Amino acid sequence: MQNEWLYIGIFLVIGIIVPIVPLVFSRLVAPRKPNPIKQSTYECGIETVGDSWVQFKAQYYIFALVFLVFDVETVFLFPWALSLKQLPLFVVLEGVLFIGILVAGLVYAWRKGMLEWA
């Protein structure tokens, strides 16, 4: 069990090193002649006005809230799904009820018009 996670740990380290190798190699052999025009931000030939890191309206904000609810739900559903074979039918139906409550939330958001692009 511990060995499995040791394996994943080594895998992560090598997995990050592998893509760095071509980048380092590229830095060694590629030409480097930067100038202000070359380094300017691309915007279809127009000169850039202002910074890009501005506050921007995320129109899918409500979707993100609904996502959060469902993402937490699925975390609870995994243990339920894993032990389904040992559980009696009654407990399985309780899990279905749990899904039903969340679907009611989705239906509520839908009826309120929260799932429209505004």
Residues at the interface with another protein (CB under 8 A): 3-4, 6-8, 10-12, 14-16, 18-20, 22-23, 25-27, 29-34, 36, 38-44, 48, 51-53, 56, 58, 60, 63-64, 66-67, 70-71, 74, 77-78, 81-82, 84-85, 87, 89, 92-93, 95-96, 99, 103, 106, 110, 115-117
Q: How far apart are the first and last CA of the chain?
A: 49
Question: Shortest Cβ distance from residue 106 to another protein (Å)?
Answer: 7
Question: Shortest Cβ distance from residue 1 to another protein (Å)?
Answer: 8
109 touches 94 (CB < 8 A): no
